[in-house]
């Protein structure tokens, strides 16, 4: 208790310097938290994937579609519970900046396979009844202020022309990890429109989604599907939904790694600032430490005083920084809109923030602490700050 | 009468440990700031140098990328026959009807499946892109299942060595050479024969048409005519403009991220500088009093301390820039979000970036040192001399 009092009193002796150091810490811990959250958001699609869902795509690459006839063949494979499909639409809403995923889907099978998308039965029925209807996620609805009954026009890029949809349902996520920034519409309507606009591109789908009866059979089923279409015009590649999502992240790995490195650089910068502060503090109080030694306090106690002060400042700064991370990340998520579908500060991030702060506190005090503990009493008393 | 500059420099030298820590913090900030700008410059440089100023690129209206575009044979023929297109050797129009697709190839070392752009080029595809040179092996022969790979692809992907085969479009394609495209986006592409590819991928339409203009100033007239032609629904752009647009999304992301980081980090570094300078003022109070008593003006004191803070920033800048310039050896490869395909580019240091980072470092030093310098200048002589 006495020790703690001494430490805090010491920290408050140089108000301005302590305040500045605290401010620096808050900024550093806050930005570290934000950067980690950005990295998490990058992997969010993979984190929300169910382990028993497979994605079957064209083996050459995603840009090539698969024939509709594969649906029934895949359904017949032993171990497959259900099959659905989704086609990436890549339309532009008002401006290319307003990016959000759009899929042409087969509603009944698709939403049965994705229980994490919650739609009220009335709205779902309304969507089924309207051929030009669309289902949008809550986040998407909030970002662009879209409500039930609103028209949602898209300009096609892969599928040329103007497309119009009517919002018939808004879905919510089952938890914070669910992506609610997507839009879904009827593949049937999409296909009929393609038949009139570009005959050769009709009756095709982007990827098949396969639900496997039990998790132990996932590998076997995916091999069976790929074997079935070997040497056909459209060979397939089937992988778990998680692997499929991570595939995208992997390709932008370089950026993720850069962001990770940078998030630790900010900690190193604040470490330099903190070490500087502690070095000055110790230098100014060298004669006091010598006095304490004369009174019989052990070198360890003196070192502990300095480390304690450093850690105390670090922990207080981290506390404020962590508290600020939440509102700031919410503001950031609102700003970037649908670019990052899921943007939540994880418990792991907070733990890392605390660890970094304590680490900075200890390391910053290492050199000055040692110096104060080992200083000769005579020299210490002679020293002028 | 100003205080000699050496006074400021020597004061920094006297507290080596503190100066090193503060300047080190600043150097890190300068490094991040510079590296991000270099990355952005490298991306832009790669994509801008891909387009040739005299070339046009025609894609389907509002497709945005070549992958999503489609130009039917009849439309391609109309484009080819425009009078503004240059006439090449042998009297043929210098236009290349191209098929652009993505294939998935495992990266060397990690085995990560990555999207690679495959470009089937027409007869004049090479002639209108003078920056493409073969560096080993040879160019693919027209009308054969041969391919030539860009340098970044040869370095980064499995199965791209000369004599090896890639399988896509239901056939095997033999790699017969490696080309260098002068650091442009073509370095991250695989090239083959357009007609062969259109067959292999069972397409009825090309992706785009690239052509050389006889007179670049005629571009606007050609664009007007083609875009108002009722038979065509196409976008006509200068090749350079097209590739510049391909860098927008990534470039915006990098710039915003870089700006945000630099602002946040510089706050940390400024605080470091402030702490250092306040301490410098506090420990030298009697010294300042002595200087004032000798007749140096308040302004001179202010300038001396500001100079000290500036030198701190300058030291940070030099160290940060030295480290950042070593980043030029690093090549980064990532997926371009706009074209969904692999693109390799380098950190590129330009004079402009050097200048910007210098200004940035000096501003950091100044803003950190301003308040402490003001405090030093406002000390009363009597109080300052009394302080021990």
Q: What is the pLDDT of residues A100-159, one digit of tens each?
A: 999 999 999 999 999 999 999 999 999 999 999 999 999 999 989 999 999 999 998 888
For A18-55, b/e burial (b = at least 16 CB within 10 A) is bebbbbbbbbbbbbbbbbbbbbbbbebbbebbbebbbb
Q: How many residues does chain A have?
A: 385
DSSP category for residue A63:
T
Give the per-residue pLDDT at A72.
Answer: 94
Question: What torsion, rounded to 10 degrees, do the Cα atoms B374, B378, B381, B382 define?
Answer: -120
Q: How far is it, in rounded angstroms, from Cα B193 to Cα B200?
A: 11
Give the per-residue pLDDT at A383.
Answer: 65
Q: How far is it, in rounded angstroms, from Cα B182 to Cα B345?
A: 11
Residue A95 has pLDDT above 90, yes or no: no
Residue A311 has pLDDT above 70, yes or no: yes
Q: State how far the alpha carbon of B259 is from the alpha carbons of A29, B34, B92, B251, in Å.
A: 18, 11, 50, 12
pTM of the predicted model, to two decimals?
Answer: 0.84
How far is C-alpha B89 from the chain's CA centre? 36
- Across chain B, mean pLDDT equals 90
Share of chain B above pLDDT 70, in %: 100
Residue A180 has pLDDT above 70, yes or no: yes
Side-chain-side CA neighbours of B90 within 13 Å: the count stands at 6
Query: How close B365 comes to chain A (CA, Å)?
Result: 14
Average pLDDT score over residue span B171-195: 93
Would you place residue B89 in the very low, low, confident or very high pLDDT band (cuts 50, 70, 90)? confident
Q: How far is it, in rounded angstroms, from Cα B160 to Cα B324?
A: 32
Residues of chain A contacting B274 with CB distance shorter than 8 Å: 20
Residue B311 has pLDDT above 80, yes or no: yes
Side-chain-side CA neighbours of A134 within 13 Å: the count stands at 29
Q: With left for phi above 0 and alpha for psi between -120 and 50, is residue B335 left, alpha or beta?
A: beta
Binning chain A into helix, strand and coil, the percentages to the nearest 5 are 60, 15, 25
Residues of chain B contacting A17 with CB distance shorter than 8 Å: 275, 278-279
Share of chain A above pLDDT 70, in %: 99
Average pLDDT score over residue span A255-268: 87
Contact B115 A158 (CB under 8 A): no
Contact B62 A248 (CB under 8 A): no
- Across chain A, mean pLDDT equals 90
Q: How far is it, in rounded angstroms, from Cα A238 to Cα A230?
A: 12
Question: In terms of CA atoms, which chain B residue is nearest residue A35?
Answer: B261
Does residue A107 contact residue A125 with C-beta atoms inside 8 Å? no
Average pLDDT score over residue span A70-89: 94
Contact A63 B102 (CB under 8 A): yes
Contact A273 B271 (CB under 8 A): yes
Average pLDDT score over residue span A231-245: 88
Residues of chain B contacting A266 with CB distance shorter than 8 Å: 261, 264-265, 268
Residue B81 has pLDDT above 60, yes or no: yes
DSSP category for residue B87:
B
Residues of chain A contacting B269 with CB distance shorter than 8 Å: 269, 273
Contact B101 A61 (CB under 8 A): yes
Contact B67 A385 (CB under 8 A): no
Nearest to B18 among A16, A200, A276 (CB): A276
Average pLDDT score over residue span B149-177: 91
For A137-163, b/e burial (b = at least 16 CB within 10 A) is bebbbebbebeeeeebebbbbbbbeeb
Nearest to A276 among B63, B276, B340 (CB): B276
Q: How many residues does chain B have?
A: 388
Encode pLDDT of B327-360 as tens digits.
Answer: 999 888 888 877 778 888 999 999 999 999 999 9
CB contacts < 8 Å between A and B, how many?
141
Residue A384 has pLDDT above 70, yes or no: no
Q: Which DSSP helix (H) or strand (E) runs through B151? A: helix B151-156
Residue B85 has pLDDT above 90, yes or no: yes
Average pLDDT score over residue span B231-240: 91
Would you place residue B388 in the very low, low, confident or very high pLDDT band (cuts 50, 70, 90)? low
Q: Which residue has the tokens 């004061």?
A: B11
Encode pLDDT of A32-51 as tens digits.
Answer: 999 999 888 888 877 778 88
Residues of chain B contacting A42 with CB distance shorter than 8 Å: none
Residues of chain A contacting B271 with CB distance shorter than 8 Å: 20-21, 23-24, 27, 273
Q: Which residue has the tokens 């940060």?
A: B320
Q: How far is it, in rounded angstroms, from Cα A187 to Cα A331?
A: 35
Query: How close B111 comes to chain A (CA, Å)?
Result: 11
Question: In terms of CA atoms, which chain A residue is nearest residue B342?
Answer: A251
A366 contact partners, CB below 8 Å, separation of at least 6: A307
Contact B268 A269 (CB under 8 A): yes
Residues of chain B contacting A16 with CB distance shorter than 8 Å: 278
Average pLDDT score over residue span B190-194: 95
Q: Which DSSP helix (H) or strand (E) runs through A362? A: helix A347-374
Residues of chain A contacting B267 with CB distance shorter than 8 Å: 23-24, 27
Average pLDDT score over residue span B60-89: 88
Contact A251 B342 (CB under 8 A): yes
Residue A385 has pLDDT above 60, yes or no: no
Contact A27 B261 (CB under 8 A): no
A165 burial (CB, 10 Å; 0-12 / 13-18 / 19+) is buried
């Amino acid at each position: 208790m006495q020790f703690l009092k001494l430490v805090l009193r010491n920290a408050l002796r140089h108000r301005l310097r302590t305040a500045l150091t605290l401010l620096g810490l808050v900024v550093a811990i806050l930005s570290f938290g934000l950067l980690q959250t950005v990295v998490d958001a990058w992997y969010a699609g993979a984190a929300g994937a169910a382990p028993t869902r497979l994605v079957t795509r064209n083996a050459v690459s995603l840009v090539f579609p698969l024939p509709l006839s594969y649906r029934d063949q895949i359904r017949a494979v032993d171990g497959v519970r259900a099959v659905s499909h989704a086609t990436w639409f890549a339309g532009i809403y008002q401006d290319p900046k307003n990016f959000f995923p759009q899929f042409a889907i087969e509603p009944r099978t698709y939403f049965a396979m994705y229980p994490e998308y919650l739609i009220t039965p009335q709205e779902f029925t309304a969507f089924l009844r309207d051929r030009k209807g669309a289902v949008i996620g809550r986040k998407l609805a909030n970002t662009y202020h879209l409500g039930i009954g609103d028209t949602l026009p898209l300009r096609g890029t892969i599928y040329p022309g103007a497309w119009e949809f009517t919002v018939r349902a808004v879905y919510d996520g089952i938890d914070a990890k669910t992506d609610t920034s997507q839009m879904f519409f009827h593949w049937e309507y999409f296909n009929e429109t393609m038949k009139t606009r570009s005959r050769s591109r009709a009756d095709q789908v982007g990827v098949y989604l396969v639900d496997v009866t039990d998790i132990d059979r996932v590998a076997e089923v995916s091999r069976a599907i790929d074997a079935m279409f070997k040497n056909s015009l459209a060979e397939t590649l089937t992988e778990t939904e998680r692997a499929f999502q991570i595939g995208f992240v992997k390709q932008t790995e370089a950026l993720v790694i850069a962001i990770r490195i940078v998030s630790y650089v900010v900690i190193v910068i604040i470490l330099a600032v903190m070490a500087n502060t502690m070095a000055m503090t110790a230098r100014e109080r060298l004669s006091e430490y010598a006095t304490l030694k004369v009174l019989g306090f052990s070198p360890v106690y003196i070192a502990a005083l300095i480390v304690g002060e450093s850690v105390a400042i670090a922990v207080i700064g981290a506390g404020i920084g962590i508290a600020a991370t939440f509102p700031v990340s919410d503001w950031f998520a609102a700003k970037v809109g649908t670019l990052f579908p899921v943007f939540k500060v994880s418990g792991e991030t907070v733990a890392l923030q605390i660890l970094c702060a304590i680490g900075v506190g200890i390391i910053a005090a290492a050199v000055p602490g040692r110096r104060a503990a080992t200083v000769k009493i005579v020299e210490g008393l002679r020293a002028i700050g | 009468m100003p205080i000699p500059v050496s006074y400021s420099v020597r004061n920094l030298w006297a507290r080596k440990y503190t100066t090193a820590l503060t300047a080190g913090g600043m150097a890190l900030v300068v490094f991040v700031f510079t590296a991000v700008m270099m990355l952005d410059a490298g991306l832009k440089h790669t994509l801008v140098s891909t387009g040739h100023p005299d070339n046009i690129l025609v894609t389907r209206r509002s497709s945005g990328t070549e992958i999503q575009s489609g130009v039917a044979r009849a439309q391609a023929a109309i484009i080819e026959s425009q009078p503004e297109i240059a006439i090449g050797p042998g009297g043929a129009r210098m236009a290349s009807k191209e098929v652009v697709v993505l294939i998935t190839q495992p990266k060397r070392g990690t085995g990560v499946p990555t999207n690679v752009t495959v470009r089937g080029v027409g007869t004049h595809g090479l002639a209108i892109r003078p920056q493409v040179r073969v560096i080993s092996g040879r160019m693919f022969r027209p009308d054969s299942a041969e391919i030539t790979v860009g340098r970044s692809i040869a370095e980064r992907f499995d199965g791209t060595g000369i004599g090896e085969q890639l399988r896509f479009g239901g056939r095997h394609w033999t790699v017969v050479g490696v080309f260098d495209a002068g650091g442009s986006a073509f370095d991250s592409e695989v090239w083959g024969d357009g007609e062969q590819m259109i067959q292999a991928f069972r397409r009825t339409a090309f992706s785009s048409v690239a052509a050389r203009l006889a007179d670049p100033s005629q571009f606007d007239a050609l664009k007007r005519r083609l875009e108002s032609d009722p038979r065509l629904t196409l976008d006509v752009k200068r090749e350079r403009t097209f590739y510049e647009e391909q860098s927008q999304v990534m470039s915006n992301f990098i710039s915003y991220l870089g700006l945000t980081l630099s602002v946040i980090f510089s706050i940390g570094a400024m605080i470091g500088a402030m702490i250092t300078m306040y301490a410098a003022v506090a420990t030298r109070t009697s010294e300042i009093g002595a200087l004032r008593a000798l007749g140096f003006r308040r302004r001179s004191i202010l300038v001396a301390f500001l100079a000290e803070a500036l030198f701190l920033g300058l030291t940070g800048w030099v160290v940060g820039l030295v480290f950042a310039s070593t980043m030029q050896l690093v090549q980064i490869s990532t997926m371009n979000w706009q074209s969904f395909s692999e693109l390799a580019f380098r950190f590129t240091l330009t004079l402009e970036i050097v200048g910007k980072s210098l200004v940035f470092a000096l501003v950091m030093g100044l803003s950190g040192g301003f308040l402490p310098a003001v405090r030093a200048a406002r000390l009363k002589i009597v109080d300052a001399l009394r302080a021990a």
